Amino acid sequence: MKSLFNHKLPIALFTVTALATAANAACERYKDCSFDVKKTADVVYAENVPHLNQLHDLSTIAVSMGADIYFYKNENDFEYKALTMDIYSPKEDNEKKRAAVIVAHGGAFIGGAKDDTDQKSVAYCNSLAALGFVTASIEYRLGVTMSGNFDMFSLAMGKTITLSIDSVDFARAVYRGVQDINAAVRYLRANAETYDIDPERIYVLGNSAGAILAIENIYTNSETDFPDYSYQEEKDKENVIVRPALGGLNEYGVEKTLDAHANGAVALWGATHNPAVLKYNKTPIFLAHGKKDGTVKFDTGYPLSDASGMLKRNLPAAYSEYADQINLKVETPTLYGSYVIDSALTVNNGSKKKPVTLFVDDAGHEFYDESADKEKAVKDGVFGFLYNLAKSDKIVRELAGVTIAKANANEDSVYAVIDGSYDGKDTLNIADEIKVNSLSFNREFTPLTYSTLTLPFSVETDKVNGLEAALRYNGIGKDKEGNDAVKMKVVWATENWVKEHQIKDAKDDFMTYGNVELAANTPYLVQMGESGTFRLMEEAFPLKLQKTADAETSANGYAFRGTWAYKKWVDGDPELGKAYGFAASSSDEDKIKVGDFVKVGEGAWITPMRAYLVSENPQGVRANGAYVKPGQKLPEIMSIIIDNEDGNEEHTTVIGQFNTRTGEFRMNYDRGKFDLKGRRVNGTNNARGAYYGKNVLKK
């Protein structure tokens, strides 16, 4: 979006050296190869797509004078045409699964073209294809509707002409562009064999308006991610359609059921219509932005805020003397620049997968034009990012805290990485079973202490290293003092754990526990060993990640509830006063003992793949047939008691865990105090407030 007009200046971004293919024998693909490049022009990637047709008077005059600028009078006058792309590929290249890059030019959605050298689309396509990528410069629909009439006679008579672009019209132009870039991704994915493309290594690279499309492609999933006016039909007071329905994001093009999201994105001075769409999404993205960008704001604001001045500065000479008589009002949706995108992604992704950024002080829009050094910085950043992306293991699917990938060296080997410390805001939702050949569970367990755990897969205990014991909720009972207590049944435990906790049968012999299955979608209380790791042995594979489902065990009006999403208890939450977390240390002041379940207070929070206790029906039957009367308060504290296998004999062995008031871990057999990161605590934490997780949330 360098200006409202497209001057088609022949500026080359990079020089492509065309050497013989033999010279590439020892080169590293995507890094230092120098293939000859062949171009296949005007490849149709979507047919019968409605294009705006009736040019506004201003555009008619501009086009007649050689300035391609596309304003239209209305959306009801359209014609169906195909969308095309120019495909660039390395000559005499025998590789069958090459990474691909779709390039989208800039131009404020009213200018630019797929063969536009001013926006450097051709330079990027040539340069990347020479390195071994397949590239495609795409045509996408241009045009924003404009109201008001523009004519030379009115200007000559000294009249002021008022022209306006409504924010709705601009938003719909963006939406049409997103439909088109989605269709381009699906086209390459559907025709991967034809062009020798790896369908799981398709990336998008956008400049300005094209960068907006690249960002929207990555982070939006359906039309409902956009304001309804962006795509819905609109009628006037006489019930006449003034804006037709635009359809879904995958309305046009081939193979509409294919995933339209690219596997990575480069966004040069781009934005999105709303940071709310930047949900937890670990798709790699490179952001470049000048901190003094006045066209697409670096932090937040309205793009094209100086649109009227830009228009006047670019008027044909015959109209320049009338510039003061032209009043252009441009209302655009609030678009957020790279700084806000970077910040939002950091928040939504927790501490993981931050975007790669090139934020430059004292730089404006398209700042690679400002100096050779800045141009080189952009080039090196973009090319280095795409090289690393193309050479890395392929990300097959990204879920909240779970990454599914294929090994670069062996594409038949699918592996999963579970981020047990994920603190983002998305929900772990596995819709279908996923077979994996290996799995890493990256969670720091405090050695020899207890943690809640809910797994998205099933595994037998003899195929797990590091596990000392697994227990499951078994209802509400009474401790030795007659107080309410939480019963935990031992599902499996090592011999040492059994002896340490004195778990015996009716004959006074130590209990023995054979191999059992830890079931998916089931919350457990587990103790990890000296290593503090939960590691699966090779014999456990292949295994399947199961469809996520409600994960809870219920009894006596309470549920031990597994979590698939981050949850924070705020004022008004119906669970406040009914939810309990583990106590890890004692507090004489609050009469809390190690191993109690303590009520969760306002501001407390919990992350995915954990569990907590909550009262489902406080007026239902409780232990020993007692009822909670209407208005009767639930107990502030409940201790943990361990059920035996023989007739529910109860052991009041306290197995210390989380304390929502002190934030400490402490074992009943005094192995020391630990904070929530597993660090030994020498003194007593006297901080007040609600705790559940890693942070202290003071009242």
Q: In the predicted model, what is the mean pLDDT of the chain? A: 81
Domain match, 281 and 376 both? yes
Domain match, 474 and 384 both? no
pLDDT at 12 over 70: no
Q: Does the residue 404 lie in any domain?
A: no
Q: What's the DSSP call for residue 529?
A: -
Return the closest-CA partner of residue 115 out of 103, 100, 98, 97: 103
635 half-sphere exposure, CB direction, 13 A CA radius? 21
> Mean pLDDT throughout 16-39?
74
Q: Does the residue 1 lie in any domain?
A: no
Say what the pLDDT of residue 289 is.
95
Q: What does the block give as tokens for 493?
A: 């435990």
Q: Does the residue 398 lie in any domain?
A: no
Show the beta-strand stretches assigned E in 64-108: 71-72, 78-90, 98-104
Return the closest-CA partner of residue 635 out of 580, 561, 672: 580
Return the closest-CA partner of residue 289 out of 204, 356, 350, 384: 356
Say what the pLDDT of residue 8 is.
32
End-to-end CA distance of the chain: 48
Domain match, 339 and 452 both? no
Q: 392, 427, 458: which is the final residue of a domain?
A: 392
Hey, CA dihedral for 106, 109, 111, 112, is it positive or negative?
A: positive
Domain match, 232 and 324 both? yes
pLDDT at 192 over 70: yes
The 3-state DSSP class for residue 217 equals: helix
Say what the pLDDT of residue 650 is.
37
pLDDT at 628 over 50: no
Span 532-589, pLDDT tens digits? 889 999 999 999 999 999 999 998 888 899 999 888 888 888 887 787 765 555 666 6
CA distances from 113 to 79, 84, 100, 192 (A): 19, 11, 20, 24
Q: 377, 392, 407: which is the final residue of a domain?
A: 392
Domain match, 343 and 226 both? yes
Q: How many domains does the chain have?
A: 2
Say what the pLDDT of residue 206 is.
96
Domain match, 374 and 455 both? no
User: CATH number for the domain including 344?
Assistant: 3.40.50.1820
Domain match, 233 and 138 both? yes
Q: Does the residue 423 lie in any domain?
A: no
Distance CA 198, CA 180 (A): 21
Say what the pLDDT of residue 282 is.
77
Domain match, 80 and 146 both? yes
Distance CA 58, CA 542 (A): 64
pLDDT at 380 over 80: yes
Scanning 95-221, the segments in alpha helix (DSSP H) are 121-131, 152-156, 167-190, 209-219
Distance CA 109, CA 143 (A): 6
Q: Does the residue 189 lie in any domain?
A: yes
Q: Does the residue 47 lie in any domain?
A: yes
Q: Does the residue 75 lie in any domain?
A: yes
Name which residue leads in pLDDT, 347 or 464. Answer: 464
Q: 347, 377, 392: which is the final residue of a domain?
A: 392
pLDDT at 658 over 60: no
Domain match, 106 and 187 both? yes
Say what the pLDDT of residue 14 is.
45
Domain match, 231 and 368 both? yes
pLDDT at 253 over 90: yes
Return the closest-CA partner of residue 272 out of 212, 220, 207: 212
Span 64-118, pLDDT tens digits? 777 778 889 999 999 999 999 999 999 999 999 999 999 999 988 988 899 987 7
Domain match, 501 and 373 both? no
Say what the pLDDT of residue 694 is.
31
∠628-632-636 over CA atoms, to 5°? 95
Domain match, 388 and 454 both? no
* Domain of residue 109, residue span: 32-392
Q: Does the residue 10 lie in any domain?
A: no
Distance CA 512, CA 507 (A): 13
